[in-house]
Amino acid sequence: MTLARIVLAALALTIAGQAWSAEPAAAPTCNSGPQSGWKPKNAVVLHLTKQQLALKQLKTVGDCYAVYATNKVGQPVNNYYHPVTLQIVGPIPN
């Protein structure tokens, strides 16, 4: 019985260690080319306004725009956007 407990404890520690050491998800790659061809940040703000989103933060992550916004009921809407097409590339993980 004690051997079974030791094995279960070791297994639990192994699983917990793997979860703890998991690396955060990497930002997507937009393949957006040189920044000279990107839409300006004020165009992103206008695009979000048309979608009824309130911008909280806008930054460049890799070759994508990272947009932190809220919808009209105050829920967070955080996505990576392609800086040329302004299409959503994927969600920003929490």
DSSP 25-54: PPPPP-----GGGSPPHHHHHHHHHHTT-E
Tell me the per-residue pLDDT of 21-53, one tens digit each, with 9 for 90 and over: 444 567 789 999 999 999 999 999 999 999 999
The CA-to-CA distance between both ends of the chain, in Å, stands at 41
Query: For residues 21 and 49, what is the distance between their CA atoms, to the nearest angstrom?
Result: 39
Query: Do the Cβ atoms of 42 and 61 come closer than 8 Å?
Result: no
**How would residue 1 be classed by pLDDT, with cut points 50, 70 and 90?**
low
